[in-house]
Amino acid sequence: MAGDDTSGRDLDARNDDLVAALLAGEHRALARVITLIENRAPGHRDLVARLHPHAGDAAVVGITGSPGAGKSTLVDKLAAAYRDRGDTVGVVAVDPSSPYSGGSVLGDRIRMASTNGDMDVFFRSMSARGRLGGLSTATTDAITALDAFGKDVVIVETVGAGQSEVDIVRTADTVGVLVQPDSGDDVQMLKAGILEIGDVFVVNKADLDGAARTVAELEEMLHRRDVGAGAGKHGHGSVSQSGGESHADGARSDGADAAADWEPRVVETVATSGEGIEDLVDALDAHAAYLRSSGVGEAKAQQRHGEKIRRLVRGDLTELLEAELDRRGGVDALAERVRSGETDPYTVADAVVEPLRECLDGQRVDNKRTPTAAESDPGDDRD
């Protein structure tokens, strides 16, 4: 493979080799591609762009829940269950970011004991990079790489659950939310909004006291949610065939047709022993079948692509504007001018954004401008 020189020609050659090796099933190439993605190394965007046409076949399953709910153990057993039926598996475990290095705080922990040594299970621990939603652009790009590699199932284990931890619903096809038995705080949190993101709810550690009560509470809350919505369950982030509005958090403003409704399931598991894992796989499979038959899966895919475009554009614009701030002396210097009364924040913001606005406005004008005769017929421009 080519070296890591940052010249355009060297990057193209490196990416040619990496993409060819990854598509040929070389795990070493897959690992290197994900490393380049996570480090946002030069050429990583071109890599993902080249892999994108080869992705789209994997089932992406998100597993989220509060700390201590047993997510890592459950994901381990879930991966083993998929392998038992012949599926290849990729796992992306998204860990909290270090406030100092930005790296993964828990990335060195040993998680996948059941599938250790199985080359058809690829595990990668990644940092959330400070994203409030718990997922970074690097995570979604890593999923693309695993998908293009040919993994049948990609499992994404997220940092945790909370009202801001909803990126997973924009990333995964199916979302499983873990709840601990008799965990009053968790159930109250679900009432606060995260109830909306789950396609399957998992009461893990179901051998502990309070499991039956927690299952009953979850089922009651799901029932009340549906009664309040005036219809059955919805496909999160779906677009109604009748044109109903779809909200960013996945909540629907109208009731979907009965045929398009999904009834979230509540499954009991004991991840340490593997009890209930088959039931969980069945529930996840049922949701995947629903996505295919209802058309909601296609709507979710379109919504995911739209969100990815917005995220990339926002990131690129942020970098451009940060560079413009630096060119004007930096935020601290500008803030001092505001403090001293020399200017105000709105004037500063307008001045920073104005060059970009003028550039875009000028481009729109150029696109609409009628070509001159010489431009229309360049053959007439003779010496």
> Quick one: 237 and 262 in the same domain?
yes
Q: What phi and psi, each to the nearest 5 degrees, are found at residue 179? A: -135, 140
> Quick one: 178 and 43 in the same domain?
no
- Return all residues near 308 (Cβ < 8 A) that are at least 6 apart: 137, 140
Smallest Cα–Cα separation from 107: which of 115, 97, 116? Answer: 97
The Cα 215–Cα 208 span in angstroms is 12
Tell whether 359 is covered by a domain: no
* Domain count of the fold of the chain: 2
> Quick one: 23 and 101 in the same domain?
no
> Quick one: 80 and 19 in the same domain?
no
CATH number of the domain within which 101 lies: 3.40.50.300
Question: pLDDT (tens digit, 0 to 9) for every residue of the chain, 383 residues total?
Answer: 444 445 788 999 999 999 999 999 999 999 999 999 999 999 999 999 999 999 999 999 999 887 888 899 999 999 999 999 999 999 999 876 443 444 444 444 455 667 777 889 999 998 765 444 457 789 999 999 999 999 999 999 987 655 445 778 889 999 999 988 875 555 655 655 667 889 999 999 999 988 998 898 888 888 887 676 654 444 444 333 333 333 434 433 333 343 458 989 999 999 999 999 999 999 999 999 999 999 999 999 999 999 899 989 999 999 999 999 999 999 999 999 999 999 999 999 999 999 999 998 888 777 776 666 555 555 544 44
Crossing angle of helices 211-229 and 184-191, rounded to 10°: 10
Residue numbers of the domain that contains 127: 56-294
> Quick one: 276 and 157 in the same domain?
yes
Q: Which of 30, 54, 78 is the last residue of a domain?
A: 54
The Cα 383–Cα 79 span in angstroms is 71
Tell whether 381 is covered by a domain: no
> Quick one: 141 and 186 in the same domain?
yes
Tell whether 280 is covered by a domain: yes
Q: Which of 258, 277, 294 is the last residue of a domain?
A: 294
Q: Which of 279, 294, 309 is the last residue of a domain?
A: 294
Angle 50-367-373 (CA atoms, 0-180°, nearest 5)? Answer: 120
Tell whether 197 is covered by a domain: yes
Q: Which residues pair with 267 in a beta bridge?
A: 202
> Quick one: 19 and 115 in the same domain?
no
> Quick one: 160 and 205 in the same domain?
yes
> Quick one: 119 and 215 in the same domain?
yes
Gap between the terminal Cα atoms of the chain: 49
Tell whether 321 is covered by a domain: no
**How many residues are listed for the chain in this entry?**
383
> Quick one: 144 and 13 in the same domain?
no
> Quick one: 134 and 242 in the same domain?
yes
Tell whether 226 is covered by a domain: yes
Tell whether 224 is covered by a domain: yes
Q: What phi and psi, each to the nearest 5 degrees, are found at residue 69? A: -75, -15
> Quick one: 151 and 238 in the same domain?
yes
Tell whether 119 is covered by a domain: yes
The Cα 328–Cα 287 span in angstroms is 52
Q: Hey, CA dihedral for 93, 97, 103, 105, is it positive or negative?
A: negative
